[in-house]
Amino acid sequence: MFVLHSYAWAVVFCIITMFCWGSWANTQKLAKKGWRFELFYWDYTIGVLLLTLVLGLTLGSNGTDGRPFLADLGQASHASIYSALIGGAIFNLANILLVAAIDIAGMSVAFPVGIGLALVLGVFVNYLEHPAGNAVVLFGGVLLVVLAIILDAVAYRKLPGGSAGVSTKGLILSLACGVTMGFFYRFVAAAMYPDFAVPQPGKMGPYAAVFVFAVGILLSNFILGTFIMKKPFVGAPVSFGDYFKGGLGTHLTGILGGIVWGIGMSFNIIAAGRATFSISYGLGQGATMVAAFWGVFIWKEFRDAPKGTNGYILAMFACFLIGLALIIVARTS
């Protein structure tokens, strides 16, 4: 299978992750007007699964390092498979909360608050399991990310209606997403052997692990996705009949969103073999800044903000940039 041997290339892969994770949600905004996120999300989960399968049968089945994709799946222990499936289910819950928060509060709020918090928790949890790099530099970067989250929340509360009930719900959903998403990566990492070039019995390489993770997302969605269709956070319930009323273009938009996110997840896991799980995850979650850029400058989600709000937004971007730079150099410090 294809394995990275350079830390510089691992950082490049994490940057690709950052852009994929920060951009996939645009497909939700590009779906036809009135297409509910509860319906969009089914296509998204299908896209993630298809992408991980294709990568497993291509990059995961060629090269001299590790085990080929199908052989790796076949020898995986029940414990490793269950761990990756649980990671998929946890992620699915967190991502449903994120997509709901985007639907209510917009990308420039849901990502900095939800994914920023997930970055903090995820780096901490993964570092405890596999400590590597300069802890002072690493967590200094994390603290700057925390400050960026606070600045974004302050800016959001200045929007007209920012203290209204539906907006408060958006913030609460973002926070719940962050707490939940901070833990999914650890379960996926636990299913893998740390040096991807040296396989371990029962453990999986990156391609098999991320595929099983994607299966966990889809399977868990039959419970979680069905539940939010019947009990949506906002609006009337929707049914599977509504889903099948969507046109081909509408469904392809959701599948595209899943493919974009799946590329990011796969590249992040591949990079973890050189960058460590904590740094790879932390860099990937720099997607927060990418999503905030989309929300602020492309979708104009702060166009009605009062004078002085731009200062908070600029400070947020500065804190994220410096924090991510510290996370990068922590591996080599």
DSSP per-residue letters across 199-235: --TT-B-HHHHHHHHHHHHHHHHHHHHHHHHHS-SSS
In the numeric block, the tokens 């390092």 are attached to 65
d(CA 292, CA 89): 26
For the purposes of burial, counting CB atoms within 10 Å of the CB of 201, is it exposed (0-12), middle (13-18) or buried (19 or more)?
A: exposed
Q: Which of 171, 172, 142 has its CA nearest to residue 155?
A: 171
Q: What whole-number distance in Å separates Cα of residue 96 and Cα of residue 110?
A: 12
For 192, the 3-state DSSP assignment is strand
Q: CA angle, 81 as apex, 117 and 218 as ends, to 5°? A: 65
Q: pLDDT 10s digit of each residue in the chain, 333 long? A: 999 999 899 999 999 998 998 888 889 878 888 899 899 999 999 999 999 999 999 999 998 899 999 999 999 999 999 999 999 999 999 989 987 887 787 766 777 778 778 878 888 888 888 787 789 998 998 889 888 878 877 787 777 765 444 467 888 888 898 889 889 999 999 999 988 989 999 999 999 999 999 999 999 999 999 999 999 988 899 999 999 999 999 999 999 999 999 999 999 999 998 888 888 888 887 777 787 788 788 777 778 888 888 898 899 889 988 988 898 888 766
Answer for the pair 289, 108: CB distance below 8 angstroms, yes or no. Answer: no
Distances (CA, A) of 317 to 154, 278, 311: 14, 22, 10
Tokens of 331: 């591996």
Q: Are 130 and 274 in contact, with CB atoms under 8 Å apart?
A: no
What is the model's pLDDT at position 184? Answer: 92
Q: Checking phi first, is residue 253 left (phi over 0); if not, alpha (psi -120 to 50) or beta? A: alpha
pTM of the model: 0.84
Q: Which amino acid is at 266?
A: S
The answer to whether the CB of 126 falls within 8 A of the CB of 266 is: no
Q: Which of 282, 31, 302 is nearest to 141 (CA)?
A: 282
- Phi, psi for residue 204 in degrees, rounded to 5: -110, 155
Q: Is 307 helix (H, G, I), strand (E, B) or coil?
A: coil
**Nearby residues of 251 by Cβ (< 8 Å), 6 or more positions away:** 43
pLDDT at 165: 47
**Which pLDDT value is given to residue 161?**
60
Q: How far apart are the first and last CA of the chain?
A: 30
The single-letter code of the amino acid at 330 is A
For the stretch 137-170, pLDDT in tens is 989 988 898 888 788 777 877 777 654 444 678 8
